[in-house]
């Protein structure tokens, strides 16, 4: 139940992020609370810590370095929700897919709409979370087979 509620909040926040490029803090805070509660019940503490570290660290560094020009604090909360829902090691797939999808879409979007400068990242974190949850095991097996 907590898992699906967390996913619903993540998807709902993504739609708001696309439309307004800003999501209400209370909605993201609720998503963080629900997803971390789910993570604590589903995964051991070390696995949850690694999941959060792997998804939150890059957006956090980008927010701090850019002083919120490249990413905002909402993206850090999006990443927290995605990491807690996907768990480690699927959180690695989550963040990788989010950045790959965001980069590819961003390049195409900016070519088509050169006047637009900002693109919300939350929906790509939600997409990465879904890919990590649904296909994470298969992707990790495929990547492991390369070595």
* Domain of 18, in residue numbers: 2-145
Enter the pTM of the model. 0.94
Q: How far apart are CA 42 and CA 44, in angstroms?
A: 7
Number of domains in the chain: 1
- The pLDDT profile of the chain, 147 residues, written as one tens digit per residue, is 999 999 999 999 999 999 999 999 999 999 999 999 999 999 999 999 999 999 999 999 999 999 999 999 999 999 999 999 999 999 999 999 999 999 999 999 989 998 888 899 999 999 999 999 999 999 999 988 777
Please give the radius of gyration of the chain, using alpha carbons only, rounded to the nearest integer: 15
CA-nearest of 96, 94, 84 to 52 is 84
Do 122 and 114 meet the contact criterion of CB atoms below 8 Å apart?
no
């Amino acid at each position: 139940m907590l898992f699906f509620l967390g996913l619903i909040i993540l998807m709902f926040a993504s739609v708001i992020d696309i439309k307004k490029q800003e999501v209400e803090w209370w909605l993201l805070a609720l998503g963080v609370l629900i997803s971390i509660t789910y993570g604590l019940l589903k995964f051991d503490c070390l696995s949850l810590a690694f999941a959060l570290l792997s998804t939150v660290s890059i957006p956090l560094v980008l927010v701090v370095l850019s002083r919120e020009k490249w990413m905002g604090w909402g993206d850090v909360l999006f990443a927290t929700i995605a990491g807690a829902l996907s768990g480690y090691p699927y959180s690695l797939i989550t963040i990788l897919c989010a950045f790959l999808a965001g980069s590819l879409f961003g390049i195409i979007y900016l070519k088509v709409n050169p006047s637009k400068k900002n693109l919300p990242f939350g929906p790509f974190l939600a997409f990465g979370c879904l890919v990590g949850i649904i296909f994470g095991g298969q992707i990790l097996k495929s990547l492991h087979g390369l070595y």
